[in-house]
Amino acid sequence: MNIPDKNTRQLVAEEAARLIYDEGYRDYRLAKQKAAVRMGASTQSKSQPSNEEIEVALHDYISLFAEEEQIPVLRHHREIAVEALTFLKDFNPYLTGAALEGTSGPLSAVTLFLIANRAEDVIFFMEEEQIPFQTHDRKVRFGNKQNYYPLLRFYADNVEVELMIFPDTGQNKGGPISPITGRSSKRADLKKVKQLLAEM
């Protein structure tokens, strides 16, 4: 029996959401492709759900299947975010990603945006504080331009923390473009994250 395209898109979105929450997928494109293969659907991008559809499905999945177990996970991730935002206060840090959106799963990372004249300033700071970390880079879009920016990863209380480092050029004021919405990424400073924690 052929499943209508609309239903197929929804099923793929739901499976991708499960992969993101349960299995820790962070790349929505990879989650969509894996979900499409599992559902026997087309892996061509035009046939797949949008990232925003997957984000809606992720919120629905948590509400239906994981709300009780997810609340302490989200609280823990936001507590770690408060510690990291305080620790890295000299780099104008902001929280973004799953811990801000309320979709943190057991394998999610806590993601911070930092501003530094040089990525080395953050690296030297971490080394001085004797915090083990790994260096990577990630392609990020500001406006119509895409570039690779430094990414540091470390662990705090068994939770992965990602530090995206952007130069203090004044051109990045609006923040990077979210691959989910196509608009400026949501972000929150220390005061806002403390408020979110207090409201839980």
Domain ranges of the chain: 5-49, 68-198
Among residues 23, 60, 57, 50, the alpha carbon closest in space to that of 180 is found at 50
Domain 68-198 in CATH 3.30.460.10: yes
CA–CA gap between residue 148 and residue 126 (Å, rounded)? 21
For position 112, what pLDDT does the model report? 98
pTM above 0.85, yes or no: yes
Share of the chain above pLDDT 70, in %: 94
Q: Which residues contact 101 (CB under 8 A, 6 or more apart)?
A: 55, 186
The answer to whether residue 103 scores a pLDDT higher than 90 is yes
The pLDDT confidence band at residue 44, using thresholds 50, 70 and 90, is: confident
